Amino acid sequence: MDAQVKREIPVWLERQILLRGGAVNSRPRFRVVWGGNRMRANLVTGLLEHPYQKDRWHLEMWKEELQDYEHAYVFANCPHREPAKPWCNSCFVSGGEYIDATLAIIEARIGLILRVEAMQKEALDKNARMQKDALFGREEAKKEEAVERIHDAVKDAAPITVKRSMNTPLYISADQALGTEKFRQVN
């Protein structure tokens, strides 16, 4: 593969990618670019440079937060791949064996990314739901606690009243207790 050759995927394939991956603000979510075509300004030096391996096809995904396409996958392969070690060292250095960006391979990769994304979203939703439940549970607990505190306050108040009435000497008449004794008529 000559890295200097500018290559582009055909329009029909672009359309298939749009159908499979959808769009964000009328921009295709996924696109396949040739590494030799992809240029990006280096924010430090201000120079344009190739961000990806030049002689491979790359799958990119639109990132709304970056307002740019981000690298998602390089179409390359390590034919010496072992289960425990996804890429051998020499393929890792060389960038692996060239793979043509066919519809089947592109669709399979986009499908995988979308499935992983859906699983992550589901996990996040579940987490948010659990947090909401926990929060709701806390709110309920707070309400119960408030009711409990009111009960305690009433309970704390009640024994004092009872104690006072119990402490009232029974031999003191109501008049004595009320201080009206002096007005009693003595005949």
Q: By CB under 5 A, tell whether 132 contacts Zn ion.
A: no
User: For helices 103-167 and 11-21, what crossing angle results, to 10°?
Assistant: 20
Q: By CB under 5 A, tell whether 88 contacts Zn ion.
A: yes
Choosing from 40, 63, 80, 85, the residue that interacts with Zn ion (CB under 5 A) is 80
Ordered alpha helix ranges (H), the chain: 11-21, 89-94, 103-167, 174-178
By beta-carbon proximity to Zn ion, the closer residue of 85 and 151 is: 85
Cα–chain center distance at 180:
76
Q: By CB under 5 A, tell whether 78 contacts Zn ion.
A: yes
By beta-carbon proximity to Zn ion, the closer residue of 37 and 77 is: 77
Q: In 3-state terms, what secondary structure has residue 85?
A: coil
CB 53 to Zn ion: min, Å: 15
By beta-carbon proximity to Zn ion, the closer residue of 100 and 156 is: 100
CA distance 33 to 101: 10
User: What residues line the site for Zn ion (CB under 5 A)?
Assistant: 78, 80, 88, 91
